[in-house]
Amino acid sequence: FIANCVDIPNQSHGSGMEKCIKKLDRRWREHIYNYKTDGIIAVSSYIARQYVQRKKKPVVILPPLKDSDTLPIIPSTKHPSIEIVYVGVPFPTDGRKVDEEAYKDRIDLFIDLLTSVPDVGKPVHLNLYGLSKEQYLHVVTRHTQLIKDNEDKILFHGRVEHKKAMEAVGQADFSVVYRLPNQMTMAGFSSKLVESISCGTPVLYSDTSDYVNYLQDGKHGFLLNIEDPEKAQKKLAEILRTPFEEIAAMKECCRQSKIFDYRNYMDSLKAFLNQVNGK
């Protein structure tokens, strides 16, 4: 009996009844993971520590994986602007008012950062796929005027099919995975980061989960200090001035690295299964 653990849902928001149900659900799952399983596949080292600390058992850490041979190869195209892409749903978009603690991606903080960067000598566009402007502003009401003032820079494309979103990622100069460190973000691992690197697009990311164990700052993307906006602003300004030739080289490096190709993890999974079988 092997458990595949990919996240720890946030329990800090919702009604009192919802919080109680979430807590009971988590306790029940933790009991199963700790005492009933023969081995655990964890998406991050944080989850591995959470579920193996009470009872030693075989564990393997596997990030989300891809078959690099099936991904489209999109050649680097020189843009007159810097194109940044975000793909995903950063918070529930079903009409609820959502507390900031429930935000998975802090795209709102990245928009704050991007719009605070002084002119870099060329246009910069942030393209958001997965939610509409109306859905975004329903939750992030403080950005109503900011989005209006930056309509030419912050572009919402709404929900699109996955293939179209991946084409947009492959054609972009950078993608964004911007998350504050907390239990939910440290436990998970962004599949969008994996898809971006696998498609050949460097990532602007914050230090959460195990990203720094896989990506090299300046090679596969750039690490931004989400907890120090002043430092992040200065670094982002430098990034946005990166010449096209350097961006093209980074894109090729990401594509050729095959960091998240499943073939690179077959030996570790085989060793794990042998441990489980021996146990």
Q: What is the pLDDT of residue 100?
A: 83
pLDDT attached to residue 243: 94
- pTM over 0.95? The answer is no
The pLDDT of residue 259 is: 96
Strands (E), the chain: 2-5, 39-42, 59-61, 82-87, 124-129, 154-158, 174-177, 203-205, 221-223
Instruction: Determine whether 27 is exposed, middle or buried from the number of CB atoms within 10 Å of its CB (0-12, 13-18, 19+).
Output: exposed
Beta pairing partners, 5: 42
pLDDT at 53: 66
Q: Which stretches of the chain score pLDDT less than 70?
A: 12, 53-54
Q: Look up residue 183 and give its amino acid.
A: Q
pLDDT score of 51: 79
Handedness of CA 130, 41, 204, 235 (dihedral sign): positive
CA distance readout (Å), 202 to 74, 166, 170, 205, 257: 13, 13, 10, 9, 11
Give CA 273 to chain center in angstroms: 28
Those residues whose C-beta lies under 8 Å from the C-beta of residue 48, and which sit 6 or more positions away, are 40, 42, 59, 61
CA 167 to chain centre: 17
Beta-sheet pairing, 124-129 with 39-42: unpaired
Predicted confidence at residue 73, as pLDDT, reads 75
How many CA atoms lie within 13 Å of 70's alpha carbon, on the beta-carbon side? 8
pLDDT tens by residue, 196-227: 999 999 999 999 999 999 999 999 999 999 99
